[in-house]
Chain A
């Protein structure tokens, strides 16, 4: 099956610093990737849709200048949390949909990145 990796799996940083998270599709190409944030015992909240070769689409309430997304190639999307603050501490997960029949049906998720901002 399709495999999506994320790096790093864990990151601890000081408040005010920037953190970059990578999402890679290992055995398939992904023109679209999704970035989610998940707080404990809550559902996945879609932050943005990353599109290869074009600007990301952000969900309402998500600051695009704070969460920078770059979809550099068909297998790599990066999320940079700029000037991170403790309230940005969360579990960040990316996913890449399959493209069966032109539809983006099933999503294959990365293992997630736990961010702790001190």
Chain B
């Protein structure tokens, strides 16, 4: 069955450092991959989308890589801030977005 794995352990980093989150998947060939941020008790907020034919995408302090051979995506937050503390979800979608599956997320804590 299709499976997305994100590190279930929380990631604790110091302010100013780069946070790197990992998303691995199996039994799936997504057309694109997305990263969302979710704060406690809130719905997810879209951050970045990267397509299967793209290797890297950047948006301000955020960078996403997508390796379809390794079936892995890395999500980087540079110059991290305490306000970046949240849970980050990885999501895979088929062509047309008819089916999207979400990972359980990785909790990030950025300490001042």
> Which residues of A does B touch, CB under 8 Å?
4, 6, 34, 41-44, 46, 91, 93, 95, 97, 103-112, 114
List chain B positions with a Cβ less than 8 A from chain A: 4, 8, 32, 34, 36, 41-46, 49, 89, 93, 95-98, 100-105
4 A-B pairs with least C-beta separation: A104-B97, A109-B43, A43-B104, A44-B102
Kindly report which residue of chain A lies nearest to residue B100, judged by CB atoms: A107
Distance (Å) between the CB of B103 and the closest chain A CB?
Answer: 6
Contact indicator A95/B43 (Cβ below 8 Å): yes
In the assembled complex, 26 residue pairs joining A and B whose CB atoms fall closer than 8 Å, in A order, are A4-B43, A43-B4, A43-B103, A43-B105, A44-B44, A44-B89, A44-B102, A46-B101, A91-B41, A93-B44, A103-B95, A103-B97, A104-B96, A104-B98, A105-B32, A105-B49, A106-B34, A106-B46, A107-B34, A107-B100, A109-B36, A109-B44, A109-B45, A109-B46, A111-B43, A114-B41
Q: Is the CB of B104 within 8 A of A42?
A: yes
Q: Are A103 and B96 in contact (CB under 8 A)?
A: yes
What 13 additional pairs, Cβ within 8 angstroms, besides A46-B101, A103-B95, A110-B43? A42-B104, A43-B105, A103-B96, A104-B96, A105-B49, A105-B93, A106-B49, A107-B34, A107-B100, A108-B46, A109-B43, A109-B46, A114-B41
- On whether A97 and B97 interact (CB within 8 A), knowing A41-B104, A43-B4, A105-B49, the answer reads yes
Q: Are A93 and B43 in contact (CB under 8 A)?
A: yes
Residues of B within 8 A of A6 (CB): 43
Kindly state the separation between the CA atoms of A108 and B91 in the bound complex, as whole angstroms: 13
Within 8 Å CB of B89, what residues of A?
Answer: 43-44
Q: Which interface residue of A6, A34, A97 has the most chain B CB atoms within 10 A?
A: A97
User: Given contacts A105-B32, A106-B34, A106-B49, is CB(A46)–CB(B43) below 8 Å?
Assistant: no
